[in-house]
A and B are shown apart, each in its own frame.
Chain A
Amino acid sequence: MTERALTTKPITTAGTVIGIGMGGFVDGILFHQILQIHNMLSARIPPDELIGAKVNMVWDGLFHALVWTATAAGIAMLWRAMKRADSLLSGQAFVGALLMGWGLFNVVEGVIDHHILNLHHVYEPMGQSVWDWVFLAFGATLIATGWLMIRDVRRGMFGGR
């Protein structure tokens, strides 16, 4: 019987999807709800009166439903990864993938929603501002950090190749 080579693919896929979901929760909980510096459609529908605030609340809820679904899907993938015989259960690869997912969320959501569609901006009172670029830069840093962590696991597996 031949042994299957170990791979981090199942755990990095699960970690990235969970990271996307949890990155979305950071955005929604911290920026939309606690700090209230923007909402899902705050560049189009100002949330500074009751109806506008409640309409944005509905769209924030749909956004949270999407990131909840991503998190749940990631947990299901993690469960399957744990049961695979060829899955390398590396904590470093998993945490790296979580950071990568969070960073991917920031970059993709930031480019599409903040810069292309102008649905909202990080600090809405300023419109498009330096904070939108800080958001993207933070996302890119998370992706780079996550990738370095995953690459480090690869070096351990293949001896630097």
Chain B
Amino acid sequence: MNRRLLRLGALVAGASVAGPAWACTLCHSQTGEAVRAAVFGSDFWANVGTLALPVPVLVGAVLLVRGVSP
């Protein structure tokens, strides 16, 4: 019983790993390559930094709220 369940699990896991490769319509296209080139361009880390910049400010604000809460 356990072996059958294991085989079924392996089959489902295999299918779920293989699925996205077939379902991804743009992964192997020129559009996909252009998107990856644009995302991982020279400004990638600058964009990550700007995306994350509000995080420390918000953490500080949460600590302030905690400090003034009754």
Q: Give chain A's interface residues, CB within 8 Å of chain B.
A: 7-9, 12-13, 16-17, 20, 40-41, 45, 50-51, 54-55, 58-59, 62-63, 66, 70, 93, 97, 100-101, 104-105, 108-109, 112-113, 117, 119, 150, 153-154, 157-158
Interface on chain B toward A: helix, strand, loop, or mixed SS? helix
Taking CB as reference atom, which chain A residue is nearest B38? A55
Determine the chain A residues whose CB is within 8 A of the CB of B35 once the complex forms. Answer: 51, 54-55, 58
What's the nearest-Cβ distance from chain B to residue A149, in Å?
11
**Are B34's CB and A51's CB within 8 A?**
yes
B2 at the interface (CB under 8 A from A): no
Measured between alpha carbons, how far is A66 from B54 in the docked complex, in Å? Answer: 11
Give the shortest distance, in Å, between B23 (CB) and chain A (any CB): 16
- Shortest CB-to-CB span from A27 to chain B, Å, is 11
Helix, strand, loop or mixed for chain A's interface?
helix
- What would be 28 A-B contacts, judged by CB atoms less than 8 Å apart? A7-B69, A12-B65, A12-B69, A13-B62, A13-B69, A16-B65, A40-B51, A41-B47, A45-B38, A50-B31, A51-B38, A54-B35, A55-B38, A59-B39, A62-B51, A63-B51, A66-B51, A93-B69, A97-B65, A104-B58, A104-B62, A104-B65, A105-B58, A108-B57, A108-B61, A119-B50, A154-B70, A157-B70
